[in-house]
Amino acid sequence: MNFDRKDYSNDQLLHLYQGLLKPRMIEEKMLILLRQGKVSKWFSGIGQEAISVGSTLALDEDEYILPLHRNLGVFTGRNVPLDRLFAQWQGKTTGYTKGRDRSFHFGTNEHHIVGMISHLGPQLAVAGGIALADLLDRRNKITVTYSGDGGASEGDFHEALNVAAVWQLPVIFIIENNGYGLSTPSREQFRFRYFIDKGPAYGMEAVQVDGNNVLEVYDTVRRLAEDLRQNPRPVLLEALTFRMRGHEEASGTKYVPQELFEEWAQKDPVQNYENWLMEQGILSETARHQFREKIKAEIEEGLRVADAVPMPTASLQEEIADMYRPFAAPDRAPAADAPATDKRFVDAISDGLRQSMEEYPELVLMGQDIADYGGVFKVTEGFVAQFGKERVRNTPLCESAIVGAGLGLSIKGKKAMVEMQFADFVTCGFNQIVNNLAKSHYRWGQNADVVVRMPTGAGSAAGPFHSQSNEAWFTHTPGLKVVYPSNPHDAKGLLCAAIEDPNPVMYFEHKMLYRSISGPVPDGYYTTPIGKAALIREGEELSIITYGMGVHWATALAAELNLDCDILDLRTLLPWDEEAVRQTVEKNGRVIILHEDTLTGGIGGELAAWIAEHCFESLDAPVQRVASLDTAIPFAPPLEKQFLPQQRLRETVEKLRNY
């Protein structure tokens, strides 16, 4: 192996050597502990250390890195304390996730590292969001993220690279091409030979390095970083390497031909670099021994401290509290005499979004066609003229990448609003929402300050892919908040509150309400509390608990039938207002739960179960659920009318009246 020292000093070369040696020695110790049952699982990076070590040491310490399983050198290169690192692997409270996640599934803003989730690809988009924040703040910084050759088959890889290229984000995407995705060889993963062939197709520079040559990796990343800080753009960097052990230790390596191990053993990144340093007279035998003894002592001390920490004691209160970032919403209610203007539902949303942009200069809007076009529903019409294209950003059709970028912006202290063109399309970003946004604070204390706006609902004969009510997908996901207003006043106030809240919020807005209803909306900025229901009609015959379009169906039917009933508008579905539900149930004893979502698995089932568990003695009749059919939403108006629950609501009211 050839090493070109260029103009690097002996001290720099030895610094790289120590950087290589430390993760190798930690791994060797971990493999012993694994066999002893003191570590539950291990993903080995032996043979690949030069990539993470070389790239990490080439960056400024405040530049973010997003590593994977085999990038231990990122953590040691950033001087993460070994006792905390070992405690993390042992599931101890002094680890970075309090025992809630394992391995390298954590981040630490102190060391500017954002760890992976098991789905491998999503961190690529998060890197793009971090880089975008640096661009917006005029900081000459870059971000580095890693993917294996197997993980690069995921759609997140394509989306992240595409967005980074379109937005010219200063990200180095390092592809560790080690020939296998677990046991699947490259020939069964892709048809091209090298990943650098992909770069030009994305309109980005692509560079290939010997991933086992730490000096080549270091020099290449250092040069690229210096250039990208001044001329922001993404670069694809392919590092050719080989994994000398199993994907994880339990999987073994029987699927790999022995001759490959023999070939790559001759290219060992640690041994070859050490030999070269000694041949050049840069490293003496005495110094080699001293380095090893120093690292060994550091490892043993780290293990001693970590081992002394007890396993976590489960705390119900702490577990529940840490699911969300604590947030005491200030009282921003409008004054009773505040000036108000009659506004349509869509205009109230636009008003709240515009005033939130004024209130929070760090807020960035992202979505398909939201800039000059103003969005398909014209919510952001005129925003570019007021706020500019840096903060009102058209996106490619890359829902996953854009949601991931929202988390990246959050890591750098910004707020993000992501508009789904239709709520149906959120499936393309589902993983980022339920596994990244929702779990981030619980896992390592990083909140996701992201609002996802969701134009939802049926009534316009738009068929199965533009009419779904999918809120129940998210009410089942701890870590998210779910908001669903029914009127213009709440539409503005709840949107402002959602943006103000530092936790991820799914904000549903019914398309059929956009231009069909209007009402008085305070002109100034205000918020409506998340988690509080509103009793919009009072009566003593029965109670209808609903939200969104259901409020209007219930109100119209109550007027038609002269129904003396409570109508409780939930407004927020996660968390929902238990006390308001309890009060109306205890008052009337007869309850209908109404929603446009399909019956099975809808939030009505959760409410009915809660009422049965907590308010059973107050009931005078069985709790009734009224919802849409358990089918996909049909296109033809007569079929859609049958699908929706209005007629069944009428029948259920009569049934409950006569019970």
Active site members: 466
Distance CA 286, CA 169 (A): 46
The H or E element containing residue 66 is: strand 65-66
Beta strands 565-569 and 143-148 are unpaired
Is residue 175 within 8 A of residue 154, CB to CB? The reply is no
Report how far residue 540's alpha carbon sits from residue 94's, in angstroms, rounded to the nearest whole number. 55
Helix axes 269-279, 214-230, angle to 10 degrees: 100
Q: 415 near 132, Cβ under 8 Å?
A: no
Q: Distance between CA 225 and CA 457 in Å, rounded? A: 47
Report the alpha-carbon distance of residue 514 to residue 532 in Å, rounded: 23
What's the gap between Cα 639 and its chain centre? 37
The whole-angstrom separation of Cα 575 and Cα 532 is 9
> b/e map of 270-297 (b: 16 or more CB within 10 Å)?
bebbbebbeeeebbeeeeeeebeeebee
Cβ(436)–Cβ(477) under 8 Å? no
Is the bond preceding residue 330 a cis peptide, omega within 30 degrees? no
CA–CA distance, 528 with 570 (Å, rounded to integer): 12
| CB within 8 Å of 449: residues ≥ 6 apart | 409, 410, 414, 415, 416, 502, 503, 504
Between the CA of residue 4 and those of 219, 277, 619, what are the distances in Å?
Answer: 9, 11, 81
Alpha-carbon distance of 326 to 496, in angstroms, equals 18
